[in-house]
């Protein structure tokens, strides 16, 4: 059992996220990891996030695990076909990675190589089912593996994207495919999140999958505005942006907001933890737990 699974079985769990840089430098990766290490059960490593080409997620996971903390390997469907995905999943397991997060990935057109041919051979739900099969000892086609994986399988969910009514249904599909934990998109509107959780509970999913609510501390009003308008699938209440805008100390207010949101989601039935995406502001994470 992975550390993350164990933590989730025990109680409220915190995970973090770091993004590799473009280049071979692992310095900032290690720095960010060390900043959050004592506060999280696992570190999720993004896979060419926002479709910008960077150091690979798998390599970054290994670098991070050397620091003595477990990682969650993100694997998007954008850049690899089913052969490469399975091959990398076998490799990652062989090298000590125990958690994997299956996601579609941001479209290549939105990144820094918009001319690239996207792969999308399989989708994220098919990826989850494929990993489950590998955990059972078989590849996608049914060939037996010499040495199987035993990944703790994660997925992403965006409670705030459209169509709203499809959102819990889609999570149900992911759970049926084999997802064991889910990280949500950043929550800025706890009421809307609770509305989604109601649907999730109505489908009995809170009993079947560990739910980690996404939390992103806002560093400034500029960041809030940027996220509200430029990041796909984010819903940010106007009052929240105004509150940060009006503040004399925007960073401080950002931390306050994040702490309040953590408090609110913690009280929502079915939420098993939080997933902190600090997007470059990792050193603030300790102050979220003061």
CB atoms within 10 A of CB 24: 7
Contact (CB, 8 A) for 93 and 153: no
Candidate list 172, 180, 183, 216; residue touching other proteins; CB under 8 A? 172
Q: Toward other proteins, which CB reaches closer, 159 or 250?
A: 159
37 binds other proteins (CB under 8 A): no
Residues 6+ apart with CB under 8 A from 161: 167, 185, 232, 233
Total residues at the site for other proteins (CB under 8 A)? 37
User: On the CB side of 197, how many CA atoms lie within 13 Å of its CA?
Assistant: 25
| Rounded Cα gap, residues 284 and 89, in angstroms | 32
Q: Tokens 């050193």 correspond to what residue?
A: 283
Q: Which is nearer to other proteins, 39 or 120 (CB)?
A: 120
Does residue 62 interact with other proteins by CB under 8 A? no
Which of 28, 126, 225, 247 lies at the binding interface for other proteins (CB under 8 A)? 126
d(CA 145, CA 276): 35
Residue 234, both tokens = 């984010």
Of the residues 43, 45, 62, 129, which one makes contact with other proteins according to CB under 8 A: 129
Run of H or E including 214 = strand 210-215
**Is position 237 an interface residue for other proteins (rule: CB under 8 A)?**
no
**Smallest Cα–Cα separation from 161: which of 214, 229, 233, 104?**
233
Q: How far is the CB of 19 from other proteins (least distance, A)?
A: 17
Q: Is the Cβ of residue 166 or residue 289 nearer to other proteins in the bound state? A: 166
C-alpha triplet 28, 31, 33: angle, nearest 5°:
110
Name the minimum Å distance from CB 284 to other proteins.
Answer: 25
| Nearest CA among 25, 85, 94 for reference residue 54 | 25
The per-residue DSSP string of 158-170 comes to: -TTSSSHHHHHHH
Scanning 102-110, 187-195, 243-251, 275-283 for contacts with other proteins by CB under 8 A, the matching segment is 102-110
Is residue 173 within the footprint of other proteins (CB under 8 A)?
yes
Which part of the chain contacts other proteins (CB under 8 A), choosing from 56-64, 77-85, 237-245, 263-271?
77-85
Which of these ranges, 76-84, 217-225, 239-247, 264-272, lies near other proteins under the rule CB under 8 A? 76-84
Residue 125 binds other proteins, judged by CB under 8 A = yes
**CA-CA distance, 111 to 220, in Å (whole number)?**
24
Stretch that binds other proteins, among 25-33, 39-47, 89-97, 105-113 (CB under 8 A): 105-113
Q: DSSP 3-state assignment of 33? A: helix
In sequence order, the 6+-apart residues with CB closer than 8 A to the CB of 201 are 269, 270
Nearest CB to other proteins, comparing residues 166 and 226: 166
Regarding 161 and contact with other proteins (CB under 8 A), the answer is: yes
Q: Which is nearer to other proteins, 64 or 265 (CB)?
A: 265
The residues binding other proteins (CB under 8 A) are 77-78, 82, 104-107, 109-110, 118, 120-126, 129-130, 140, 156-158, 161-163, 165-166, 169-170, 172-173, 176-177, 185, 232-233
């Amino acid at each position: 059992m992975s550390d993350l699974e164990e933590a989730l079985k025990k109680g409220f769990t915190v995970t973090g996220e770091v993004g590799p840089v473009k280049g071979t430098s692992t310095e900032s990766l290690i720095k960010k990891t060390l900043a959050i290490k004592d506060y999280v059960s696992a570190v999720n490593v993004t896979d060419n996030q926002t479709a910008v080409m960077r150091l690979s997620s798998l390599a970054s996971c290994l670098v991070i695990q050397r620091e003595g903390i477990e990682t969650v390997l993100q694997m998007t469907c954008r850049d690899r076909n089913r052969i490469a995905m399975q091959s990398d999943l076998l490799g990652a397991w062989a090298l000590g990675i125990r958690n994997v997060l299956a996601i579609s990935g941001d479209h290549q057109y939105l990144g820094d190589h918009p001319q690239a041919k996207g792969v999308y051979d399989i989708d994220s739900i098919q990826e989850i089912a494929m990993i489950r099969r590998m955990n059972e000892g078989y590849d996608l086609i049914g060939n037996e593996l010499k040495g199987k994986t035993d990944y703790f399988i994660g997925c992403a969910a965006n409670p705030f994207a459209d169509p709203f009514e499809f959102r819990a249904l889609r999570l149900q599909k992911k759970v049926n495919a084999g997802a064991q934990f889910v990280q949500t998109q950043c929550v800025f509107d706890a009421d809307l999140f609770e509305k989604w959780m109601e649907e999730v509970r109505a489908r009995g999913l809170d009993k079947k999958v560990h739910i980690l609510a996404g939390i992103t501390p806002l560093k400034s009003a500029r960041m809030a505005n940027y996220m509200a308008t430029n990041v796909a699938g984010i819903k940010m209440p106007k009052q929240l942006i105004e509150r940060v805008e009006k503040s004399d100390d925007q960073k401080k207010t950002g931390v306050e907001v994040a702490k309040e949101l953590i408090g609110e989601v913690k009280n929502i039935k079915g939420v098993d933890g939080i997933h902190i995406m600090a997007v470059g502001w990792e050193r603030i994470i300790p102050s979220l737990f003061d």
